[in-house]
Amino acid sequence: MEQKIILLVEDDFLNRRVSRKTLMENNYKVLEAKNAKEALEILKKEIIDLAILDINLGENEQDGITLAKQIKEKFIIPFIYLTAYENLEIIDKAVATAPYSYLTKPFKNVDLITSVEIAIKQYGKKYIPKILVKDGDYNVMLSIDEINYIESDGNYLVFHTDKKTYKSRSTIKHILEELSDSTFIQVHRAYVVNKTKIEKFNLKSLIIKNTEIPISRNYLEHIIA
C-alpha cells in the first residue's frame, strides 16, 4: 500500500514529537511545520494526503482555523484539528470549516490514528480525480471536472476553468494520458476540451463558455463519436 503523507502543524515541540512518533509507527510519512507560514511552504512543494492542524499556533501567529480555510481554498485536502481548546465559540468556528475530525488534547494515540484513517478513507470515497497545476507560486490539485478546456502555450499547458486559469509544464500528449478519454478529447493540435462543457459546434469550431475553439479536420470524429 502506498505510504500516505501527513502534514503535522503544531507549535509545541513535545506535542509535535509525540504525534510524529505515533504516526510514523503506523506507517505514515510525516512532514512538520511549527506555524502557518511553514505549512504553506510545504503545501506549495509537496503532495499531502491529510493535514493535522493545531488551532493555537503561538502568539502573534496565524491560527489553525484560518490556515484550514486557506487549505480548503487552495489545496483541497482533508484536515483534522488537534487542540486544547474546549471553548464553544472556538469549537463552532472550527466545525464551520468542515474538518474530518476534532481531537481535544490530551488525546490517546489510538484516537489520533483512528481519526486519521477515517478522514483519509472518507475523503477517498468522494474523490474526484485531480491533476497538479500551478496557481502563481502555489501548487494546486485541480479537480478535472472544473476544467473547461486546455490550451497549449509553448512548453506549458493553460487550464481554463470558470473562475481562473492555471498552468503546468507539460504537453498535450502527456495530459491526454492522465485524463479520461471518455470526457476529454483533442480537437486541435493546441486544444483539448471537456466534452461535457461543449455548448455547440460545427465543422470548424466549437463554443465553451463563449470561447470559440478551432477544430481540426483530423479530430472532428472525436466530437461526433
pLDDT class of 183 with cuts at 50, 70, 90: confident
Same domain, 15 and 104: yes
Same domain, 101 and 179: no
Q: Which domain holds residue 71?
A: 5-125
Find the distance separating the first CA and the last CA of the chain, reported in whole Å: 38
C-alpha separations of 4 from 24, 157, 217 in Å: 10, 29, 45
Model-level pTM? 0.58
At 93, is the secondary structure helix, strand, or coil? helix
**CATH number of the domain enclosing 152:** 2.40.50.1020
Residue 72's pLDDT is 84
Question: Angle 13-25/109-125 helices, nearest 10 degrees?
Answer: 60
Same domain, 64 and 105: yes
With a pLDDT cut of 70, the percent of the chain lying above it is 94
Pairing of strands 130-135, 211-214: unpaired
Same domain, 49 and 80: yes
At 110, is the secondary structure helix, strand, or coil? helix
Q: What is the mean pLDDT of the chain?
A: 89
Same domain, 47 and 95: yes
Residue 75's pLDDT is 80
At 112, is the secondary structure helix, strand, or coil? helix
34 assigned to some structural domain: yes
At 82, is the secondary structure helix, strand, or coil? strand
Among 125, 159, 194, identify where a domain stops.
Answer: 125
C-alpha cell at 167: 498552468
Residue 112's pLDDT is 94
pLDDT tens-digit profile of 158-177?
A: 999 998 999 999 999 989 88
pLDDT class of 218 with cuts at 50, 70, 90: confident
133 assigned to some structural domain: no
Confidence check: pLDDT of 150 > 90: yes
pLDDT tens-digit profile of 63-90?
A: 899 999 988 878 878 999 988 877 788 8
Amino acid at 94: A
DSSP secondary structure letter of residue 2? P
138 assigned to some structural domain: no
